[in-house]
Chain A
């Protein structure tokens, strides 16, 4: 199975600040169809995960432009700028290229 390694495990950020989360995969996530099926989710306390970014860098409907995704191959990054209180929770990367699909272990974003 593809291992998704997220760093750091936790982050402390000030409101209005900027931060980033790294996700590395044990294999290239480029699919034979040319797409890279790397996604980012946010799970707020007591809620189901919600989709933020799909296929590396595309924001899902309604996601603020404070969130941006980048990367290629095996290295990916989620950047969050102008952090707001509703951004707090656990962020997960997920790969849908190689079956079985796998998630990272999560990065907890907390307030400083």
Chain B
């Protein structure tokens, strides 16, 4: 069965970076894009961007350009999202999600809580 297993919660200081992972299993990794979504109580669900797991090509929501960097390691079927120059506004739960042939996100990771605090 398709599974997306994300890395654990992160506590980071303002100005630092974190790198979240999303390990896929149960399907051919390079067949489907991986997207990342941010969830906060105040802003709800926001689309960060996606990565073409085959080519490594990316596209970002303008709001997250310079903040998020998406990469993949095909050898381990893992997608990564690095968040840089962290501020308290980056505190959120971040999800990875897999697209499907009909679009949308049929499969989600369990979410990674990122807390930015001094």
- Residues of A that sit less than 8 Å from B by CB: 35, 37, 39, 41, 48-51, 54-55, 58, 60, 92, 94, 96, 99-106
Contact = CB atoms under 8 A, between A and B. Distances in A.
Contact of B108 (A50, A104, A105): A50
A49 B102 contact: no
Given A48-B111, A50-B108, A105-B44, A55 B59 contact: no
Contacts of B61: 99-100
A54 B108 contact: no
Interface residues of B, number: 19
A107 to B, nearest CB: 11
For the complex of A and B, the 4 pairs showing the least CB-CB separation, nearest first, are: A100-B61, A48-B108, A103-B45, A39-B104
Contacts of B63: 100
A105 B46 CA distance: 10
Contacts of B104: 37, 39, 51, 54-55, 94, 96
Contacts of A48: 95, 108-111
Interface string B45-74: 111000000000001011100000000000
B11 interface: no
Nearest to B4: A48
Nearest to A31: B103
B105 interface: yes
B9 interface: no
Q: Which of B45, B47, B110 has the most C-beta atoms of chain A within 10 angstroms of its own C-beta?
A: B45
A92 B103 contact: no
B8 to A, nearest CB: 15
Contact of A55 (B45, B46, B103, B108): B103
Given A39-B103, A55-B103, A96-B103, A103 B46 contact: yes
A103 B105 CA distance: 12
